[in-house]
Amino acid sequence: GAVVSQHPSWVICKSGTSVKIECRSLDFQATTMFWYRQFPKQSLMLMATSNEGSKATYEQGVEKDKFLINHASLTLSTLTVTSAHPEDSSFYICSAMFSLNQPQHFGDGTRLSIL
Amino acid sequence: LAKTTQPISMDSYEGQEVNITCSHNNIATNDYITWYQQFPSQGPRFIIQGYKTKVTNEVASLFIPADRKSSTLSLPRVSLSDTAVYYCLVGDNQGGKLIFGQGTELSVKP
């Protein structure tokens, strides 16, 4: 079946560091990918929609200069958390659609901890 | 986007059938209903999707009444490993975004 892979699965870094998270569709081409954020005991919150070859669409309240999204190919989208601070610590999850009229498939998430 | 409402939590015992109902009064004509399962520190996993009536796969059934304003996920003979959060979402499957509700935390006890 369709597989979405995220890397890294877990990262710890110092405050002020920029962190890049990769989301790959392993066996299909994904023109659209989505990035979510999840805090402990809470639901997933959509951050942005990533479209291949165009700028990402950010949800209200999400800083586009803070969370840089690049979708340079049909199989890879990246989320860069720039100058990360402790409040950016969270679980980040991506998803992808491999065709219309099919459900989204999710990666296994990236646990980001900023010290 | 249609909003969904689910019970916050449910308890069950191993071997029982579990039914989780989701309300989506504002569902649009083109919207599908999709259920996901999420374990701690993992991404959501697709369970089942339907548009109307009944859909069944190897892990669950989905019942959707004629007015489509609600849906029920049925998990037959649950086991301890079915303890997870279950999310109901509606969307048109045309590349549009999905908005997650609070989900239902299912706890299966021995």
- Please write down the HEC assignment for all residues of A2-38: CCEEEECCEEEECCCCCEEEEEEECCCCCCEEEEEEE
B100–A45 CB contact, under 8 Å:
yes
Chain mean pLDDT for chain B: 93
User: Percent of chain B scored above 90 by pLDDT?
Assistant: 84
pLDDT, average across residues B96-104: 86
The residue type at A94: C
Res A57: pLDDT: 92
Contacts of residue B96, Cβ cutoff 8 Å, sequence gap at least 6:
B1
pLDDT of B92 reads 77
pLDDT tens, B65-94? Answer: 999 999 999 999 999 999 999 999 998 767
User: B43–A104: do the CB atoms touch at under 8 Å?
Assistant: no
**Contact state of A101 with B93 under an 8 Å Cβ cutoff:** yes
Instruction: Band the pLDDT of A113: cuts 50, 70, 90.
Output: very high
From chain A, the residues in CB contact with B102 under 8 A are 43
Cβ of residue A45 closer than 8 Å to a chain B Cβ: yes
**DSSP line for B93-106:** SSS--------EEE
Nearest-Cα distance to chain A for B104, in Å, is 10
**pLDDT value for B3:** 87
Query: Tokens standing for A2?
Result: 């369709």
Q: Which residues pair with B70 in a beta bridge?
A: B23
- Minimal Cβ distance to A102: which of B93, B99, B103: B93
Q: Is the pLDDT of residue B1 over 70?
A: no
**Hey, is the C-beta of B58 within 8 angstroms of any chain A C-beta?**
no
- C-alpha of B52 from chain center: 14
The model's pLDDT over A29-86, given as tens digits with 9 standing for 90+, comes to 887 899 999 999 999 999 999 888 888 999 999 999 999 999 888 899 999 999 999 9
User: Higher confidence at residue A28 or residue B82?
Assistant: B82
**Strand, coil or helix: what is A97?**
strand
CB distance B43–A4 less than 8 Å?
yes
With CB atoms and an 8 Å threshold, state whether A32 touches B42.
Answer: no
